[in-house]
Structure 1
Amino acid sequence: MNKITVVLVDDHAILTEGTASILKEYDFIDLVGAVNDGQQAFKLVVEHKPDVLVADISMPGISIFDIIQEIEKKQLPTKVLILSMHDSPNYVFKALNNGVNGYITKYADREEMVKAIQTVAQGDEYYSQTITQVIVKGFKEKKSQESNDQNPINVLSKREKEVLTLLVEGLNSKQIAERLFLSERTVSNHRANMLQKCQVNNTVELVRLYLDNVNKW
């Protein structure tokens, strides 16, 4: 069984030493270097062409994203596994968009860390449960936003939607004004604004637009 060559980089020396000592306990892992900044890490990657670079997402010197670009430019075989305390969507999606092969948090136990290294070394991707939840939530929010953006009714304000809903129920402007404690003139202004925003010619078209899109609210 070929050993998995690994370079480790983290700007916290104590964490680097602790992680390095764990990796050295596994016979199938060959830790060829453990450093504390991006510049040193990049030199080791170019020199040893390791199977996996385990790196924090934020560190001094060359950023991990610059290193990934150089890895791709030089066509090196090295896969990149992020090991970070950061699990916010901003960090996670920035990493995904920049071509990392895996992402786990520093709360992961040693078994998961080693499993992640093995997985990305084999050419697959690995994300810890916490990171997977962030990814899934992010995609759901994006899909929901896209759905809202495509719904013409969502150009209306909350009050305009209330007026429109009552129009659909068959109420006239006077009845809507009484129901919402507004003046008839205000209701008429809302109706005119809705026609303009939704780019329709009359109330019938506005109601039809509502009925076609109400389930997307």
Structure 2
Amino acid sequence: MSKITVLLADDHILVRNGIKAMLEADEDIIVVGEADNGVQAVQRVHELQPDLTIMDIRMPEMNGLEACETIRKKNENTKVVMLSMHDTEDYVLESLRVGAWGYLLKDTDRVEFIKALKQINNGIRYYSGAVSNILAKQLLGKGANGVRVNEIVDSGGTDVYGLSKREKQILGLVINGKHNKEIADVLEKSIRTIETHRFNIMKKLGVNNAVDMINKAMRENLLQNT
């Protein structure tokens, strides 16, 4: 099986060296290139076509967010993973907007770091625990009209994807971190019924997993009053 190829983009060489040593200790990963600013990162992605690019947010000439958006607009095949010491809401949401496949904090331990990269390489988005909480909070928080999402979820009706009132209820509970059994208990339904609803939600949204389901719901404000 071919190794996962990675490009490292960070303006601190000590940070790059540390990440490179950590990644290459895993037999499935190889670092094929490095960049110390956003402009160089975009160029190296085009030249090397790595599977993944680990991108620091704060870099000179072009920051990581701008570089990620440029890479996405150029339709490069690499999946960008944002890396930062900051878990601020603005950074997290902007990373999602520009097309990042994941967001990892610089204090992430090796086991989680490697797990995240392999998951992203397989087409499944990944966000550190603290970052996931920000996404859920944003989605469950108040919309521009001041109405809370968990009030809207019970309001009935459908949307462009044809989500029913019950499907919106379940989607809201999934975003709030509830597992199938907990959702079944809350709604007084069987676990199999909840599983069927979740399958139907993902089918309607055109996604294959819960992370992409949550991302799409947030990106398109599916639970906000329209």
- TM-score between both structures, scaled by the size of structure 1: 0.64
Q: 2:29 — aligned with what?
A: 29
Cα distance change on mapping 1:11 and 1:147 into 2, 3 Å: same
2:16 and 2:113 map into 1 onto residues whose CA distance is 14
Q: Please say which structure displays the higher CA radius of gyration.
A: 1
* SS in structure 2 of the partner of residue 100 of structure 1: coil
Q: 2:47 — aligned with what?
A: 47
1:88 and 1:109 map into 2 onto residues whose CA distance is 19
Q: Residue type of the partner of 2:114?
A: V
Q: CA deviation at 1:36?
A: 1.9
Q: 1:121 — aligned with what?
A: 121
Alpha carbons 2:72, 2:98 under 8 Å: kept: no
1:1-217 alignment to 2 at 5 Å? Answer: 1-143=1-143, 146-147=146-147
2:83 and 2:65 map into 1 onto residues whose CA distance is 14
Runs of 4+ displaced beyond 6 Å: none
Q: 2:166 — aligned with what?
A: none
Deviates more, 1:37-46 or 1:66-75: 66-75
Q: 2:184 — aligned with what?
A: none
1:67 and 1:144 map into 2 onto residues whose CA distance is 29
* SS in structure 2 of the partner of residue 146 of structure 1: coil
How many residues are paired up? 150
1:68-103 deviation digits (Å, cap 9, x = unpaired): 333233321100111110101011111111111000
Q: Residue type of the partner of 1:131?
A: V
Alpha carbons 2:65, 2:94 under 8 Å: kept: no
1:90 and 1:69 map into 2 onto residues whose CA distance is 16
Q: CA deviation at 1:137?
A: 1.4
Alpha carbons 1:38, 1:60 under 8 Å: kept: yes
Identical-pair percentage: 36
Alpha carbons 1:7, 1:31 under 8 Å: kept: yes
* SS in structure 2 of the partner of residue 44 of structure 1: helix
Q: Residue type of the partner of 1:21?
A: A
Q: Residue type of the partner of 2:5?
A: T
1:114-136 deviation digits (Å, cap 9, x = unpaired): 11111111111000101001111
1:132 and 1:145 map into 2 onto residues whose CA distance is 24
Aligned CA RMSD, in angstroms, stands at 2.1
Alpha carbons 1:5, 1:30 under 8 Å: kept: yes
Deviates more, 1:122-131 or 1:58-67: 58-67
Q: Residue type of the partner of 1:65?
A: L
Q: CA deviation at 1:42?
A: 1.7
Q: CA deviation at 1:17?
A: 1.1
- TM-score between both structures, scaled by the size of structure 2: 0.61
